[in-house]
A and B are shown apart, each in its own frame.
Chain A
Amino acid sequence: MSASATAPLRATFDRPLCDRLLYYMVLMRELEDRIESKLYRQGKVLGGCYTGRGQEAIPVGSAILSRARDWLTPSHRDMGALLIRGITPREILAQYMGRATGLTKGRDGNMHMGCARRHCVPIISSIGASIPVATGLAFAMRYRDESNVVFNYSGDGASSRGDWHEGINIAAVMRLPIVFLCNNNHYAYSTPLDKQMRIADIAVRVKAYGIPAEIVDGNDVFAVHTATQRAVEHARSGKGPYFIECKTFRMSGHSAHDAADYVPRGLREEWSKKDPILMLQKYMVEHAGADEQDFVDLRQRVLDEISEAVEWALNQPYPDPATVEDGVYEVR
């Protein structure tokens, strides 16, 4: 899990790319923070509330490589991927607040959102279920002889589910163009890895299906980015699926209600030293000519953007109760 593995490639991370990566990582961090530590506690968003705090490098470092016609199936820790696909903080906040203008028009809540137009499948709450679905999205690409790929996101917990194994195997057998991004954040809710599996690396499972799998430092956005580049190239050129296990840590409870007392304090402290945003900023200062003021300015810009979006969302209408039965079936 060493960040140094990516060192030789860093020359390719020029300032504009660094700026984009940082923008989306900070936007994800601050937007989720606003939702979790303000709006949720103020009762302005109801229901569950999951964040990907500490894991921002994974969705951002990978999804930034997606093309318009690719499809993504993000997990509940991947808000950055939605933002990169063009889903706006306004839409996300309206979704969290159950408003008519949210991405699911109030039909679903919190991170259970997506958008067909931006090729993001809304999160399927049944953990692991997105993996077979990714195979179908990819199958349709092959059917039409396209060079598009699917970015599938899941966690360590998903790899215990039958769907995960069925989907990974189908992807392997049919050589489908899928980039699997696994965030191994060491917990599935309260359950640590050693109670989930008798192996340390999920990549071991994947290799058994005949799919190339590599392990990267999931808090190093460059490591995620370069691995995804390899994976995308592999998948786009017809060589089949590719799996990337991103070692990371969930720097929050499972969701807002969870204090995560079950996490040994030392462990969280250790990981807090590897904050992906700070790691990127350090690199940018040392190698890309950035300074602290740039980061302060960026954060302020992001906070302003979020505040504007919160105001907008708070003024959005709720769905009309008369529409509760609409949209179950096609109306012809």
Chain B
Amino acid sequence: MPQTTYVEAIRQGIWEEMERDSTVFVMGEDVAVYGGAFKVTKGMLDRFGEMRVVDTPLAESGIVGAGTGAAINGLRPILEMQFADFMGCGFDQITNFAAKCRYRWGQSIPMVIRAPAGGNIHGGPFHSQNVEMPYVHTPGLKVVQPATAYDAKGLIKAAIRDNDPVIFLEHKYLYRSVKEHLPTSPYTVPIGKAKVHREGSDISIITYGWMVHVADEAAGRAAAEGISVEVLDLRTLVPLDRGAVLATAKKTSKIILLHEDTLTGGLGGELAGIIGEHAFDYLDGPLVRIAAPDTPVPFSETLEKAFLPSSDQVLEKTRWLYRY
């Protein structure tokens, strides 16, 4: 059995759900004939036909609005944003309409907005951003970002079955850089549940997305120095698994909050708030945030490397916090 990549896992998850439920359809720019900019929807047109795999004009707001309308009228759209960076063009439709439908009039919007996000692919300021926080801050949306192929498949399936709008952030660097053997029988991964990616007892790194792997690498190196690091993969940003966050905080008492997104207004601040408020008495050191600096994502290799949090940086902070 060959291993399955993250991108293939998402493709399989969508495929299985489309086989299972005829109201599920895919819509976006270049998704049908071309199979999507990252080939997530490759082959679907042939299998499911042009009514269920729909190429649209270049119009993000139009796509999101159309998806929401279709969801109101009984379908389960999966919308592809070609890059998460351009989801902002549909921001109003997402935050002002889709997210508010249930609260305003009890209307379910069972819709997934898939958005390839993140850097380390030399994409520069418009093709590398981590845009999660405006959506995390919008009540009514769920926000998910898998770090592994297993979770990517299980979470996309759960997102498609969810009756609320889900922003599904796919990490572009992970698409083809992580793979694993997946179960042959169908499974889902519940939205809203974090996962201990690596167990440890001295320090906890709470993170998500590609940074799970960066943290894991740093943790491996720390282990060689006798420091036991736990890595908590949030997997879902909204609804946040507060129980798991507090459990690891209380377990190790020393916490690093790591994300690829820029520092100010990033999820680390929110996590620090939760831990500070509910696990203050357990802490044996300051809450340490590691994040990208507050700049646009730079293009040039040297600059992008300096911008992205690295395992060196994580290891250094881990040592510092361990000695604290």
Task: State the A residues within 8 Å of B (CB).
Answer: 71, 103-104, 107-108, 112-116, 121-122, 124-126, 129, 131-144, 162-163, 166-167, 169-170, 173, 327-330
Q: 1/0 per residue B69-87: CB within 8 Å of A?
A: 1111111010000000000
Given A144-B74, A167-B65, A328-B140, 12 more A-B residue pairs with CB atoms under 8 Å apart are: A107-B103, A126-B92, A131-B65, A132-B59, A132-B93, A136-B67, A137-B70, A139-B75, A166-B59, A167-B62, A327-B102, A328-B102
Contact present for A122 and B104 (CB under 8 Å): yes
Complex CA gap A258/B36 in Å reads: 49
Annotate B147-176 by CB proximity to A: 1 below 8 A, 0 otherwise. 000000000000000111000000000000
State whether B103 touches A166 (Cβ < 8 A): no
The residue on A at minimum CB distance from B51 is A143
* A-B pairs with beta carbons under 8 Å apart, 21 shown: A104-B105, A107-B104, A108-B105, A114-B105, A115-B105, A116-B72, A124-B96, A129-B93, A132-B66, A134-B69, A135-B65, A136-B66, A136-B69, A136-B73, A143-B70, A163-B93, A166-B65, A169-B62, A170-B59, A170-B66, A330-B164
Q: Is the Cβ of A133 less than 8 Å from the Cβ of B104?
A: no
**Cα(A259)–Cα(B253), bound, Å:** 62
Report how far A122 CA is from B139 CA in the complex, Å.
19
In the complex, the answer to whether B102 meets A133 with C-beta atoms within 8 Å is: no
When the two chains form their complex, are residues A126 and B73 in contact, meaning their CB atoms are under 8 A apart? Answer: no
B25 an interface residue at 8 Å Cβ cutoff? yes
CA distance A134 to B62 in the complex (A): 10
Given A103-B105, A107-B103, the answer on whether A329 and B97 have CB atoms closer than 8 Å is no
Q: How far is the CB of A214 from chain B (nearest CB, A)?
A: 24
Choose among A107, A108, A139 the residue with the greatest number of B CB atoms under 10 Å from its CB: A139
Q: Which residues of B contact A (CB under 8 A)?
A: 25, 51-52, 54, 56-57, 59, 61-75, 77, 92-93, 96-97, 102-108, 139-140, 142, 162-164, 239
Q: How far is the CA of A167 from the CA of B63 in the complex (A)?
A: 9
B66–A133 CB distance below 8 A: yes
Q: How far is the CA of A71 from the CA of B103 in the complex (A)?
A: 20
Chain A neighbourhood of B163, CB < 8 A: 330
Residues of A within 8 A of B59 (CB): 132, 166, 169-170
Contact across chains for B73 and A330 when beta carbons are under 8 A apart: no
B139: which A residues are within 8 A, CB to CB?
328
Closest to B73 in A: A140
Which residues does chain B contribute within 8 Å of A173, judged by CB atoms? 57
**Within 8 Å CB of A131, what residues of B?**
65
The minimal Cβ–Cβ distance linking A206 to chain B, given in whole angstroms, is: 15
B72 — which chain A residues lie within 8 A by C-beta?
71, 116, 121, 133, 136-137, 140
Interface pair A122/B105, CB less than 8 Å apart: yes
Q: Give Cα distance in the complex from A116 to B73, angstroms.
A: 9
Distance between Cα atoms of A138 and B70 in the complex (Å) = 7
Residue of A nearest to B106 (CB): A327
Knowing A116-B107, A138-B69, A330-B108, say if A166 contacts B61 (CB, 8 Å): yes
Name A137's closest neighbour in chain B (CB-CB).
B69
Task: Report yes or no: B62 in contact with A329, Cβ–Cβ below 8 A.
Answer: no
> Which residue, B25, B57, B77, B139, has most C-beta atoms of chain A within 10 A?
B57
By a CB distance below 8 angstroms, the chain A residues around B65 are 129, 131-133, 135-136, 163, 166-167
Q: How far is the CB of A108 from chain B (nearest CB, A)?
A: 5
Complex Cα–Cα for A71 and B54 (A): 22
User: Which residues of the other chain, B, contact A107 by a CB distance below 8 angstroms?
Assistant: 103-105
B73, B96, B97, B164 interface centre (most CB from chain A within 10 Å)? B73
Query: Would you call B102 and A329 a contact (CB within 8 A)?
Result: yes
In whole Å, how far is B217's beta carbon from the nearest beta carbon of chain A?
35
B105 and A139 within 8 A (CB): no
CB pair A112 B104 closer than 8 Å: yes
Query: Using Cβ atoms and an 8 Å threshold, which residues of chain B touch A169?
Result: 57, 59, 62
